[in-house]
């Protein structure tokens, strides 16, 4: 029975095996490409991808595209955070707001927001604005739902205590309710960040207008496969780095961690 | 009995009233020509377009194509993802081999692989289903892995001491224990499935609701475009509710599942 062995893997051994796997895949990929087992057009060698990556960084096109995409993703995310937290708290504090917003949130939460892209283009043009607003629309729902469920669960003793100590309503809002919601809001941010990135990239792939996604599609149309790979690798790295950064942030600010 | 039905209907009306209010304001704004109806078609016009589209083949066929791609990719991902996750949870060797791949691709914005898949497989259902499959695979693997790993050792030991075979432990201990997590993974994957299927169609396709929405947008038939968007929103909502109902049915026995209603905020 492998239960005991599965429970006690040697960390060093499994780390070595992981590194070995990545190495084997990269070597197999490189040699398959070098041996022309598949045409360059379909699978360029690892070294060709690295050359394309370095070229893109050297001539400034890759950092520029990345900057445009990240600007759209984070502007949208910021907007979603402001609107989402405000709406979540309003829903927790007022039954009327909850009654009014609930059916829209229930309906829109599972909807594939990218389908609204042509509508956003129609209303806000094909430049930054439509993409930023689509990112905000995609990432606002997890934030609203998390803020609402955190704010509704704030311990009433805390609110009553600060009321009896003479705090005003704004003070209670900013000093009691909002801090109590931080961990859930932060957890929702970890969900919303990849959604924001994927929406920004996809909107650019579909509608153009610069950024990572637009250049990726452009490279694919002209069969510049090493560039396609270089951009995918960059997107992958960006996703990983931001997720790690969120974890580091959470560890730096213990108030943002969910206590369970 | 009759009274409870009346109550349910009244509750439903109260819940849906905000949507009716917004549609009413929208309709009056459009009827009074405060906004250009070219940019914001009136709900009545959209409804007429939707009725028109539903009675013809346009939406039904294209929505069918999109649903087929999304659900086929999801089903394939569910079957292989669960086994992959169980394998990772049960064998440290497989885990060591697979975890760098899962970890690296988990945070990749999945639509980025669509251009690559177009290059390899051309445009069409193969590409669409593969893109959905690869996207849905990861949340299912990760959730299954966590569910199986979290099985209390005491339960496994008890089963072993009572002489359960490895197969029995798999089906009667690990799978039931991981089932709530597997359903969580499925629900995340269902959302991804629609997003990726539609994105792939918007990027390059000859059929599907994503292409249809874009085509109407480019032709300037905006009431039809809004109707097509409405149809996919409703389809995604119903698919999500169907999955919730299925998971509630399959997890009736599970203590944490009594009366939960994920997604509904009130």
Please give the Cα distance from A212 to A175 (Å, whole number): 40
pLDDT at B26: 86
Please determine, for residue A254, whether its predicted confidence score (pLDDT) is greater than 80: no
pLDDT digits (tens, 9 = 90+) for B195-233: 999 999 988 888 888 888 888 888 888 888 888 899 899
pLDDT at A82: 95
Higher pLDDT, B255 or B246: B246
Q: Which of A17, A107, A118 sits opposite B96 (nearest CB)?
A: A17
Q: Which of B39, B91, B108 sits opposite A6 (nearest CB)?
A: B91
Give B-chain residues touching A21 at CB under 8 angstroms.
96-97, 100-101
CB contact under 8 A, A216 and B112: yes
In 3D space, the residue among B100, B188, B91 whose CA is nearest the CA of residue B140 turns out to be B188
Please determine, for residue B180, whether its predicted confidence score (pLDDT) is greater than 50: yes
What is the phi-psi region of residue A68: left when phi exceeds 0, alpha when psi lies from -120 to 50, beta otherwise? alpha
A92 occurs within a structural domain: yes
Domain boundaries, chain B: 52-250
CB contact under 8 A, A119 and B104: no
Q: Which of B16, B97, B236 sits opposite A103 (nearest CB)?
A: B16
Distance from CA of B149 to the nearest CA of A (A): 9
A11 occurs within a structural domain: no
Confidence band of B181 (pLDDT split at 50, 70, 90): very high
% helix, strand, coil for chain B, step of 5: 80, 0, 20
CB contact under 8 A, A108 and B263: no
Which residue range is the domain that position A144 belongs to? Answer: 49-256
A28 occurs within a structural domain: no
Interface predicted TM-score (ipTM):
0.84
Determine phi and psi for B260, rounding to 5 degrees.
Answer: -80, 150
Mutate to test the interface with B, among A103, A107, A131 (most CBs of B within 10 A): A103
Please determine, for residue A1, whether its predicted confidence score (pLDDT) is greater than 90: no
pLDDT at B260: 47
A39 occurs within a structural domain: no
CATH number of the domain where residue A129 is located: 1.10.3720.10
CATH class of B52-250: mainly alpha
Q: How confident is the prediction for chain A on average, in pLDDT?
A: 87
Based on the structure, what is the number of domains in chain A? 1
B162 has a chain A CB within 8 A of its CB = no
B176 has a chain A CB within 8 A of its CB = no
Q: Which of A108, A206, A232 sits opposite B112 (nearest CB)?
A: A232
| Residue A212 CB coordination number (10 Å) | 29
Closest chain A residue to the Cα of B209, Cα to Cα = A115
A87 occurs within a structural domain: yes
Question: Ranked by mean pLDDT, which of A79-88, A215-224, B97-106, B202-211 comes out on top?
Answer: A79-88
Confidence band of A46 (pLDDT split at 50, 70, 90): confident
């Amino acid at each position: 029975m492998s239960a005991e062995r599965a429970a006690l893997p040697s960390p060093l051994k499994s780390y070595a095996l992981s590194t070995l796997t990545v190495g084997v895949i990269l070597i197999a990929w490189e040699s398959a490409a070098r041996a022309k087992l598949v045409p360059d057009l379909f699978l360029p060698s690892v070294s060709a991808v690295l050359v394309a990556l370095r070229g893109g960084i050297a001539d400034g096109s890759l950092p520029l595209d990345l900057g445009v995409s990240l600007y759209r993703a984070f502007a949208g995310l910021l907007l979603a955070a402001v609107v989402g937290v405000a709406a979540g708290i309003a829903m927790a504090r007022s039954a009327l707001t909850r009654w009014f917003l609930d059916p829209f949130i229930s309906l829109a939460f599972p909807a594939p927001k990218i389908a609204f892209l042509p509508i956003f283009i129609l209303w806000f043009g094909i430049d930054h604005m439509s993409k930023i607003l689509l990112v905000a629309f995609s990432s606002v729902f997890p934030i609203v739902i998390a803020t609402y469920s955190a704010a509704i669960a704030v311990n009433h003793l805390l609110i009553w205590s600060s009321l009896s100590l003479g705090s005003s309503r704004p003070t209670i809002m900013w000093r009691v309710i909002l801090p109590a919601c931080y961990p859930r809001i932060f957890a929702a941010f970890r969900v919303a960040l990849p959604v924001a990135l994927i929406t920004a990239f996809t909107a650019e792939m579909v509608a153009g207008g610069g950024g990572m996604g637009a250049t990726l599609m452009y490279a694919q149309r002209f069969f510049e496969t090493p560039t396609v790979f270089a951009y995918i690798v960059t997107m992958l790295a960006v996703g990983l780095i931001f997720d790690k950064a969120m974890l580091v942030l959470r560890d730096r600010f213990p108030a943002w961690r969910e206590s369970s | 009995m009759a009274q409870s039905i009346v109550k349910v209907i009244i509750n439903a009306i109260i819940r849906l009233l905000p949507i009716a209010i917004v549609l009413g304001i929208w309709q009056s704004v459009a009827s009074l020509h405060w906004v250009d109806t070219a940019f914001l078609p009136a709900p009545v016009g959209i409804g007429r377009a939707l009725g028109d589209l539903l009675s013809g083949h346009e939406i039904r066929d294209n929505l069918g194509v999109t649903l087929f791609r999304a659900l086929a990719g999801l089903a394939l991902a569910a079957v292989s993802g669960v086994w992959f996750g169980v394998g990772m949870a049960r064998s440290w060797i497989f885990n060591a081999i697979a975890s760098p791949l899962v970890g690296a691709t988990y945070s990749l914005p999945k639509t980025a692989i669509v251009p690559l898949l177009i290059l390899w497989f051309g445009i069409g259902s193969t590409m669409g289903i593969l893109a959905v499959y690869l996207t849905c695979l990861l949340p299912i693997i990760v959730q299954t892995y966590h569910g199986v790993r979290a099985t209390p050792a005491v339960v496994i030991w008890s089963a072993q001491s009572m002489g359960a075979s490895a197969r029995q432990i798999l089906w009667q201990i690990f799978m039931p224990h991981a089932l709530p997590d597997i359903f969580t993974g499925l629900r995340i994957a269902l959302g991804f499935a629609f997003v990726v299927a539609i994105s792939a169609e918007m990027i390059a396709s000859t059929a599907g609701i994503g292409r249809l929405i874009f085509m109407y947008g480019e032709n300037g038939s905006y009431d039809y475009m809004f109707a097509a968007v409405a149809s996919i929103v409703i389809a995604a909502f119903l698919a999500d509710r169907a999955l919730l109902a299925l998971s509630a049915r399959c997890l009736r026995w599970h203590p944490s599942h009594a009366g939960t209603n994920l997604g509904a905020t009130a």
